[in-house]
Structure 1
Amino acid sequence: MARSLDGLVLSPVADQAPGQVGTRTRFTYHERDGRIWAEYAGGDVVRGHLVGTREGDTLDFRYVQLKQDGTTSSGHCVSTVTGLPDGRVRLDETWEWESQEGSGTSVVEQLKS
């Protein structure tokens, strides 16, 4: 199993569609006993939360967020945890909205210290 995500700060490597998570968004992860959760904010996202589980190197979670324009949205994501050559963590994500149309993939990586 890859190292714990507890206390790590990750950010997308590229912007998603306008009004969504982007390179200015920061996710602070927590992990305990197979459970994961995170708070995130930045860019168009005022506040977001995710909660789910981890089994091995697979995360399965739901997310909900409040955007700058006052709208909320929610969805489901499955991520694979991998290690980068420099020791940082990378998440390869497949997500889908549940509150609106749309799905896609994204990559988030641990910020360099």
Structure 2
Amino acid sequence: MINYDGKRFRKVLADPADDAPIALYRQRGDLVWADFTGGDVRRGSLAGTRDTDGVISFSYSMVLDDGRVISGYSVNTPEVLADGRIRLHERWERYGAHAASGVSAIEEVR
């Protein structure tokens, strides 16, 4: 069973040199939460739960450099990479004035 406590994750980018937020995940039982900053994110947080397969369902909010406030929901499905790190495949949805949906991936940073 995957334990996310203390793991750091960063968005998978076409150019790894680009700046992207880094999130530090915490976990107690099935409760998972994280804070993140970097790239164009001044401050962000997420909170949700992990199921027995390691899938995390959470809500998130963030404040961007330009002052926009973004909130939404995401379901992240884990994949263990050959080197033992975790990649989370995200299906996300944003709400409100900045509504959007999509897929992306984040990977564990060591």
Cα distance between partner residues in 1 of 2:34 and 2:74: 13
Q: How does 1:1-113 map to 2 (within 5 A)?
A: 1=1, 3-14=2-13, 23-56=19-52, 57-99=54-96, 100-111=98-109, 113=110
Read off the aligned partner of 1:108 and give its amino acid letter.
I
Whether the aligned pair in 2 keeps the contact of 1:10 and 1:110 (CA below 8 Å) is yes
Partner-residue secondary structure (3-state), 2:82: coil
Cα distance between partner residues in 1 of 2:103 and 2:3: 22
Once superposed, what is the RMSD of the aligned Cα atoms? 1.4
Structure 1 gap ranges (5+): 16-21
Cα distance between partner residues in 1 of 2:104 and 2:50: 18
Read off the aligned partner of 1:107 and give its amino acid letter.
A
Cα distance between partner residues in 1 of 2:7 and 2:106: 12
Q: In the TM superposition, what is the alpha-carbon distance from 1:58 to its structure 2 partner?
A: 1.0
Read off the aligned partner of 1:44 and give its amino acid letter.
D
Cα distance between partner residues in 2 of 1:23 and 1:87: 24
Structure 2 gap ranges (5+): none
Cα distance between partner residues in 2 of 1:8 and 1:33: 15
Partner-residue secondary structure (3-state), 2:49: strand
Partner-residue secondary structure (3-state), 1:104: strand
Partner-residue secondary structure (3-state), 2:93: strand
Q: In the TM superposition, what is the alpha-carbon distance from 1:95 to its structure 2 partner?
A: 0.1
Q: Give runs of ≥4 in structure 1 deviating > 3 Å.
A: none
Partner-residue secondary structure (3-state), 1:6: coil
Gap change, CA 1:94 and 1:50, over 3 Å in 2: same
Q: TM-score, normalised by structure 1?
A: 0.87
Q: State, as a whole percentage, how many aligned pairs show the same letter.
A: 37
